[in-house]
Copies of this chain bind each other. A is one copy, B any other.
Amino acid sequence: MSKVLVFGHQNPDTDAITSAISFAYLQKELGINAEAVALGSVNEETAYALEYFNTEAPRIIETVANETNQVMLVDHNEAQQSVSDIKEVDILAVVDHHRIANFETANPLYYRAEPVGCTNTIILKLFKENGIAIPKQIAGLMLSAIISDSLLFKSPTCTEEDIKAAKELAMIAEVDLEVYGLAMLKAGTNLADKTAVELINSDAKSFPMGDQNIRIGQVNTVDVMDVLSRQVEVEAAMKKEMADNNYDLFILVITDILASDSVVLVVGDSYNKVEEAFNVKLDNHTAILKGVVSRKKQVVPPLTTVFN
């Protein structure tokens, strides 16, 4: 079998990077010539986890068809979040925990999605089902992803299975879950060094809804004012991204990881739809969304409803 590339979504977060590493490791143990790669550079939170568990960041790729015709996707399925030439290769497997959309194959494949908080929670099951032991470093990276996706179990996307998986992985990784988790999350909230463009794109995804092309970015912080103090500069960057990429609406979700609330900053003509979706009034293009920390579970579904 030729080489199989394994990767997560564009603008990779900790789950996208580490699920590629853990799933590629599992595939290698099962005899597949798999390599974990990434569709972008790692963010500061992921860099902290990789350094802590002494692992190199995956090689960054722009296209796949130039080096293989077989890929496996982790932590995403939608074509617009994947590698640009995804339609030119065969998708052998997907492991994911998101909605399914804009995904099509010519052939049957292995697809494993579960409505849990983190791809690595599913991958832990796959290790067990296949009777493969998880090395300490890989367990630490898988744990990091669960902490990241669940904001240390505070996100409504977090399930009992995620918490159980995290505790089990913390044992293998030999770390104190709470201490390590908070240190890792804080490492990801250093926004001061980022330009406005870096900030809005660091964890941004595109979602077609109705006839609109909607971009939703998210940043985690321990102080929302850190971001809002740069609102003029940030809005200008959002408008430029919209013009350059034909987005109809750009929503930046600024999430306070300690208070577990978010402020949205909205640019685009249909911002009244945003007001409708969240039942709020935008003031100077912003609104507080109480208790909202999950793009997937608390931001995308109400927007999908009002746009469709």
Instruction: Give me the interface of A with B, judged by CB distance under 8 Å.
Output: 97-115, 129, 296-297, 300-301, 304-305, 308
The smallest C-beta distance from A292 to any residue of chain B, in angstroms, reads 16
CB neighbours (8 Å) of A110 from chain B are 113-115
| Interchain CA distance A108-B112 in the complex, whole Å | 12
Contact call B101/A109, Cβ cutoff below 8 A: no
Contact A111 B112 (CB under 8 A): yes
Copy tally for this chain in the complex stands at 2
Residue pair B99, A100 in contact (C-beta under 8 Å): no
Instruction: Tell me the dominant secondary structure on chain A's binding face.
Output: loop
Contact call A108/B296, Cβ cutoff below 8 A: yes
Closest to A92 in B: B115
Assess whether A99 is in contact with B103, with CB atoms less than 8 Å apart.
no
Identity of the chain B residue whose Cβ is nearest the Cβ of A128 in the assembled complex: B129
A111 touches B100 (CB 8 A): yes
Residue contact A107 to B112, C-beta cutoff 8 Å: no
Report the minimum CB–CB distance from A291 to chain B (whole Å): 18
Residues of B within 8 A of A100 (CB): 100, 103-105, 109, 111
Q: Which of A100, A105, A296 has the most CB of B within 10 A?
A: A100
A109 touches B104 (CB 8 A): no
Judge whether B305 and A106 touch: CB under 8 Å: yes
Q: Looking at the assembled complex, report how far the CB atom of A158 sits from the nearest CB atom of chain B, in whole angstroms.
A: 13
Q: How far, in whole Å, are A296 and B107 apart by their CA atoms in the complex?
A: 8
Q: What are 20 contact pairs spanning A and B, CB under 8 A?
A: A99-B105, A99-B109, A100-B100, A100-B105, A100-B109, A101-B104, A101-B105, A103-B103, A106-B300, A106-B301, A106-B305, A107-B115, A107-B301, A108-B297, A109-B113, A109-B115, A110-B113, A110-B115, A111-B111, A111-B112
